């Protein structure tokens, strides 16, 4: 049993019974998101944001997505001078995970704001429509969490369905 988080791994492996270990693991399945994971995702999104390539808008965005088997992928926005090929942080994180073979996700944290010393605080930065549609492709709208954060302690959590109601998904094509 491998969990990709040092603190959680330590806790699970300090537990003696296999039954108890499985109970702990089940808590982190689809739709369940502990505060520890929330803050960890926000921290990873903040780190990812530092690498954003935004020479035009100066608006840096970072994202971190967690798979159902607890692997975290970070991403940041990458701008292009003609704008339309620009890639958002959420899609960068998602595409990295999909490239590694992951298809099921629990949550994504997003942080963003102007790159400026006079404006050091982030603003709540929700995913754009294209990112919401891409997340909808791989994530259950009622269970997938979108964490919008200004800091590790100042955040709001929404489901994908709350931010993207009446969405079109893969099941519509069956």
Angle between helices 89-99 and 35-49 (to 10 degrees): 110
Contact (CB, 8 A) for 43 and 5: no
Kindly give, in sequence order, each residue whose CB lies less than 8 Å from that of residue 44, ignoring residues fewer than 6 positions away: 62, 64, 72, 74, 109
DSSP, residue by residue, 73-87:
EEEE-B--TTSTT-B
CA separation for the pair 153, 38 (Å, rounded): 10
Report the SS3 class of residue 90: helix
Of these residues, 90, 115, 162, 171, which one is catalytic? 90
CA distance readout (Å), 5 to 37, 69, 96, 127, 170: 9, 11, 19, 26, 31
3 state DSSP class of 7: helix
171 is catalytic: no
Catalytic residue numbers, as ranges: 90
């Amino acid at each position: 049993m491998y969990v990709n988080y040092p603190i959680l791994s330590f806790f699970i492996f300090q537990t003696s019974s296999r039954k108890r270990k499985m109970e702990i693991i089940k808590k982190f399945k689809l739709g369940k998101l502990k505060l520890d994971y929330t803050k960890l995702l926000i921290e990873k999104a903040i780190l990812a944001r530092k690498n954003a390539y935004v020479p035009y808008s100066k608006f840096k965005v970072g994202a971190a997505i967690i798979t159902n088997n607890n692997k975290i992928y970070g991403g940041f926005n990458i701008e292009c001078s003609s704008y339309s090929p620009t890639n958002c942080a959420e899609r960068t994180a998602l595409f990295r995970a999909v490239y590694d073979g992951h298809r099921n996700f629990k949550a994504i944290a997003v942080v963003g704001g102007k790159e400026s010393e006079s404006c050091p605080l982030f603003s709540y930065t929700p995913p754009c429509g294209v990112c919401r549609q891409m997340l909808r492709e791989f994530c259950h709208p009622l269970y997938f969490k979108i964490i919008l954060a200004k800091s590790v302690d100042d955040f709001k959590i929404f489901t994908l369905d709350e931010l993207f109601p009446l969405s079109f998904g893969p099941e519509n094509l069956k």
